[in-house]
Amino acid sequence: MTELHFTLTEADRLPEAERETILANPGFGNHFTDHMVSITWTQEEGWHDAAVLPYGPIPMDPASSVLHYGQEIFEGLKAYRREDGSIVAFRPEENGRRLNASARRLALPELPVDLFVEGVRQLVTIDAEWVPSGEDQTLYLRPFMIADESFLGVRAAQRARFLVIASPAGAYFTGGVKPVSIWLSRDLARAGRGGTGAAKCGGNYASSLLPTRIAAEHGCAQVLFCDSATEDTIDELGGMNLFLVQAGADGAPRALLTPRINGNILDGITRKSLIRLAEDRGLAVEERDITVTEWREGVADGSIVEAFACGTAAVITPIRRLLGEDGLSIDFGEENSPGELTMSLREELTGIQYGVREDRHGWLSVM
């Protein structure tokens, strides 16, 4: 264990009645718990000053590097309240490892994974009463790191801060588990070869906001990005990975298809967990290049039978259709009926997370 003692400054907690009102209908990302975690890094001292602090504004110099050159990375994971009242996080060390992969790409300092997990644990423990217990409710945890040096020269900052904040969450997409429409963005890309697409950095999300707005104007809940070179090979959604379900000759699901980790997409933890669960069931999983053309032809000839998006925030969300410019429309057609395999994988994954199914891969960490 990395030796770093967390100091504690107790917050004035939100009165219980107000907290309960929020927990009854938290939405997504609207409310924040009473505390936050902060750890400081400097080139000279490394990581130091680990603290649990009252949630609140962080003082920042207007010349702080994050404000000018976008040197920022983040993570997203959830804490779940199980039926016996205990609280678990799902694969937090995977998020810690991915934060470090992002840190390397963004020239930020790496944080020891045990310190990452301990920071998350400190926050979940002190704000445990904020972990909701309603159906599909969780405490969404947002660890992030910012460059925080007051210097306008363009180089990697010599001062950074790691913070963790937490927000009680209901479903990311409102309206229950209902198939969503997604919009294919061809002209506006999220990532290019050699860029930051594989990192979880704020800039990737900034560049996805305009295409997401265009998607919304077409009635779509999310935007799908393709490889910017081929404009046909599928990468991922603005904030989720994508899977297609392929049926065999008998019409039953035989394989999950998902874009390979190609350097442009996020190595999703939900994605890799679902690959494992599918393989456990004896399904084939093909991580490879998938094109929009293959999707369209597969739906037309009946070999592609389901599609879904997955990620921490979205869990597993069935996709009803893919729309795009020039009249592109690939439609599974059944407005309110999510695919069977999609729903069964969703049920299995959330069952593990909420402790009603066996955690056979040891994915849960008790907080």
Q: Which positions lie near ligand PLP, rule CB under 6 A?
A: 76, 236, 239-241, 266, 268-271, 311-312
Nearer to ligand PLP (CB atom), residue 75 or residue 306: 75
Q: From the CA atom positions of the chain, what is the Rg in Å?
A: 21
268: partner contacted, choices ligand COI, ligand PLP, none (Cβ within 5-8 A by kind): ligand PLP
Nearer to ligand PLP (CB atom), residue 126 or residue 184: 184
Closest among 46, 35, 313, 269 to 163, alpha carbons compared: 35
236: partner contacted, choices ligand COI, ligand PLP, none (Cβ within 5-8 A by kind): ligand PLP
| Residue 196 touching ligand COI (CB under 6 A) | no
Q: How many residues bind ligand COI (CB under 6 A)?
A: 5
184: partner contacted, choices ligand COI, ligand PLP, none (Cβ within 5-8 A by kind): none
DSSP-derived pairing of the beta strands 87-90 and 253-259: unpaired
Least separation in angstroms between residue 185's CB and ligand COI is: 16
346: partner contacted, choices ligand PLP, ligand COI, none (Cβ within 5-8 A by kind): none
Nearer to ligand PLP (CB atom), residue 52 or residue 265: 265
| Residue 312 touching ligand COI (CB under 6 A) | yes
| Residue 330 touching ligand COI (CB under 6 A) | no
Stretch that binds ligand COI, among 101-109, 121-129, 311-319, 341-349 (CB under 6 A): 311-319
Distances (CA, A) of 141 to 32, 62, 227, 352, 354: 10, 27, 30, 18, 16
Nearer to ligand COI (CB atom), residue 196 or residue 303: 196
Nearer to ligand COI (CB atom), residue 27 or residue 232: 27
Least separation in angstroms between residue 266's CB and ligand COI is: 9
Least separation in angstroms between residue 29's CB and ligand PLP is: 13
One residue of 310, 313, 316, 352 binding ligand COI per CB under 6 A: 313
Nearer to ligand COI (CB atom), residue 313 or residue 367: 313
Least separation in angstroms between residue 271's CB and ligand PLP is: 6
- Where do contacts with ligand COI occur on this chain (CB under 6 A)? 76, 239, 311-313
